[in-house]
Structure 1
């Protein structure tokens, strides 16, 4: 590393076609969403902005490394920044890092930091990045979302270089490493950060008050590196879907996160609020646990996939606002194998497979919840479709506050969805033997080995081939029935400007530093 930089020693990814796609290293203050942003005229400062999300009760947190709910993510996004964010196409774009570069083996990465200030007045320095990573990777902190994903970082060998560069060394090659830093739970905190109730971040807002399960209030941070927010005050509140819609119509809120297709249709018809749509923004699925009978038999999981009338599920559950799925995550994203034929409904073949497995005419339960729009409706409709082959499904509803945690241990079948993320991140988080959110209990060491090989491959064509093989394996043998990709529907008051059409888990989703009130 002491020799001058060259293409051999350092492959600069800034401004070139990288392994994760072309990187746009321009300023990202205005966001990357597309489409109309609502209110007419120029953005103006002032006012109070109220945003409504599904709540999580006492489980809600403003610890940016333990965020698990959408409402947590919106709050931490207001208070903190990441080195890197993901745009709507899942490409990494700069935030606190203005650029990055790696060696030819993708085992050493250097990130150049921008001039940013923490809420306590101290400047961002490389040691803050190293402290944040150490906190994320603390083995005692099992709730830290990105711990598994960033375990590739070798903290002992990573270091500061000067005042604005941090060098991160990895234990193995990772060609997609910048994308990992744009995922949930990767915010940069100050090295002085100690108490989650007293956040020290570089975000566009500074905390005023927080009550888990109730409310969050923050004020504009005028020294934010990106110019600060337009609104004076941000409030993020908990409310169920129907209450979110009623509050928007009554003028008691300016933003409603994840609205139902039914609400969207009604609102568009009467013009009471504006719907902001990110097409195919979430993946909807039925999950089957591969370590439990009868789904430890691949014939059974395949039979259930063949029972799904995907178009009807999209038409009924999503009110037509989405596209059919093909039992693989990430439709339209990098590494998605577009050449795989669309799976069609085949009741006769499904019935034959179920009879062969000895489970025909048996009753199973499907665990679901009202935690997400369409979960209960999809489970109910799929139960009707499964009945065509003599399969009886009983609907078992769980708590909306604990569903995603409960799903990991309860029921052999359940409702599942995922917001936008890169395909490698999805496989890492949900499909490896040690994945923390492996709801389908898919555990195969040969799969893990191929995934590690894909991550370490710097040749993009070979890496794409390997990820395609992994996706095909999950489609043919795994326990995920991806029946649809739903449009992501948020709602805003007509006087709101600056809200972008962004898939969940991307830079402009649940982002309020660039919203303004007419």
Structure 2
């Protein structure tokens, strides 16, 4: 039996059967992680869960600041070289020290993970060379000036070269190689159900306050609320608007809420001459893809009453979104006008585009992935239908939906994005798809706009914050004039918890993590 296997068995025997106590935290979350491999799927629920066990070099705080994590600091050596100094007190859960070799191994592994539905490659592609200065210092070289490297590295959790050299995604999912540097140690993973963790008593900042952490996926909003009220969990995320009044009136419950750095949008495929699920009203194929016409995309955007959508449909748990980048995002363009709610104007645009009687379409989306996603998709379908675009709605479980969206099986789908950096939002969602450059990693409809790409080339090489944000704001104007995506709302993130047990720091990045929870004293 290997040392690593003995370590895992001993930990499970020592901590796995501990009863629920005051310092045992039980989370009820809306989605289950799709994998324990920290480089397999760039998904919020995966990242926020795995960051208990694994850590990046740098960290994005709740207020958006980038701070050291495994790195103790960094500096710019020249326009294309960053030097990172590693903390010397970091130990993996098996006792081995963190070295520069582990970081070099990790950065090389990220682009090689097979079958990923959402790669992390965007965050490492700017790195064209790595120089090891010593065991705790390394220099990362980029092809051109690149100001976002410390921020990008917040997304890359660092592995152990010794433990993970030949590890597969299946090895992580089995728990065999779940050895990180984080404040919690891995106990077990039940796919689509739960993750169990235990405090790391040897953590460099001291043992965390929770002895054990149970992260349980409860996908139905009502079931999560019922579990909290019954005392089966201590805290739940993604509180629906329909539960707010009840929770506010219950003295046993405490709420924590914050506007999220989020965007919910519809993504039309205007890139192909023919697309699936678009026909005339008799079900016959159309001679051309109507979504390729910006007038059609703009008409669909104008059909939606975003204020009613946010206030009534989502019961105040969202704000209207009129561009991709919200007010708290770097690069937000305050000069862009709001998208008008104008059904009559939308019908005129359809007629100008050659569709006076509209057409028929089926729109798709995940279910249970973001708050009220199925309800939002139904509402979008009703708005489209009112201007003559007869719309059917199909929702699918996320494990079915995302591979199909990536394979371009849909003409239009509902998506979401969370992030405070406008450059990353545009680079991931709308720059021309290029695995070599790490661009368009989530550009599932393969939108392409040379003007946008040119602006992003310049922005990503601009070290001056003010000048870069002007370029990003101009890029935002370009994509909104083209209505590349149809923004819907920016959501709020709300957690509910037992008032006698948990206090929580809400995150605009919608993180549900034990590190943001504190026992009530």
What is the TM-score when the length of structure 1 is the normalising length?
Answer: 0.84
Kindly report the root-mean-square deviation, in angstroms, between the aligned alpha carbons of the 2 structures.
2.2
Give the secondary-structure state (helix, strand or coil) at the position aligned to 2:73: strand
Deviations 1:416-467 (Å, cap 9, x if unpaired)? 2112341111112111221121134312234223212210112333212211
Q: 1:193 aligns with which of 143, 148, 163?
A: 163
Distance 1:131 1:280 in 2: 34
Q: 1:362 aligns with which of 352, 356, 359?
A: 359
Q: Would you say the 8 A contact 1:442–1:478 is kept in 2?
A: no
Could you say if the C-alpha distance between residues 482 and 144 of structure 1 is closer, same or farther in structure 2, counting changes exceeding 3 Å? Answer: closer
Structure 2 unaligned segments of length 5 or more: list them: 1-20, 276-288, 434-439
- Pairwise mapping of residues 64-463 of structure 1 onto structure 2 (< 5 A)? 64-105=38-79, 107-114=80-87, 115-138=89-112, 140=114, 142=116, 145-154=119-128, 157-183=129-155, 186-194=156-164, 195=167, 196=172, 197=175, 198-240=177-219, 241-291=221-271, 292=275, 293-359=289-355, 360-371=357-368, 372-408=370-406, 409-434=408-433, 435-463=440-468
Q: Would you say the 8 A contact 2:303–2:383 is kept in 1?
A: yes
Q: Which has the higher contact order (CA 8 A, sep 6+)?
A: 1
Does residue 54 (structure 1) correspond to residue 30 (structure 2)? The answer is yes
Distance 2:72 2:411 in 1: 46
Give the secondary-structure state (helix, strand or coil) at the position aligned to 1:60: coil
Give the secondary-structure state (helix, strand or coil) at the position aligned to 2:124: coil
Q: 1:513 aligns with which of 507, 512, 515?
A: 515
Distance 1:54 1:178 in 2: 30
Bigger fraction of residues in helix? 2
Distance 1:305 1:445 in 2: 23
Could you say if the C-alpha distance between residues 330 and 177 of structure 1 is closer, same or farther in structure 2, counting changes exceeding 3 Å? Answer: farther
What is the TM-score when the length of structure 2 is the normalising length?
Answer: 0.84
Q: 1:466 aligns with which of 471, 474, 478?
A: 471
Deviations 1:224-260 (Å, cap 9, x if unpaired)? 1222211111111121122211111110011212221
Q: Would you say the 8 A contact 1:83–1:187 is kept in 2?
A: yes
Distance 1:182 1:79 in 2: 14
Q: Give aligned pairs, total.
A: 464
Distance 1:358 1:212 in 2: 49
Offset of residue 100 of structure 1: 1.4
Could you say if the C-alpha distance between residues 210 and 226 of structure 1 is closer, same or farther in structure 2, counting changes exceeding 3 Å? Answer: same
Q: Would you say the 8 A contact 2:52–2:184 is kept in 1?
A: yes
Distance 1:275 1:348 in 2: 41
